[in-house]
């Protein structure tokens, strides 16, 4: 049941992120969060699990953006 709950929460998070994009908000799922601190801030029981943390807001066009690097599609996709 724990695994099913996490998978379902992941699908709900995906739907949330797509919905936010539809109303011009940006989102970012984040790893490496301090779940113990988050549980304390939200007053959640110690046995509660956090599936993911999603940052959400309006993009600042004057923001700090680093150059992006992407591996070319042809180098990672192979037809079998």
Ranges of each domain in the chain: 2-60
**68: pLDDT strictly greater than 80:** no
Average pLDDT, the chain: 91
Q: Is residue 53 over pLDDT 80?
A: yes
Average pLDDT over every residue of 36-59? 93
- Are the CB atoms for 54 and 30 separated by under 8 Å? yes
- In whole angstroms, give the CA distance from residue 44 to residue 41: 8
> What does the pLDDT read at residue 63?
78
So what's the pLDDT on residue 20?
96
């Amino acid at each position: 049941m724990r695994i099913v709950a996490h998978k379902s929460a992941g699908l709900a998070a995906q739907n949330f992120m797509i919905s936010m994009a539809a109303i011009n908000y940006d989102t970012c799922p984040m790893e490496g969060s301090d779940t113990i601190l988050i549980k304390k801030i939200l007053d959640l029981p110690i046995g509660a699990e956090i599936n993911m943390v999603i940052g959400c807001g309006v993009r600042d066009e004057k923001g700090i953006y680093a150059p992006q690097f992407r591996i070319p599609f042809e180098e990672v996709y192979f037809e079998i």
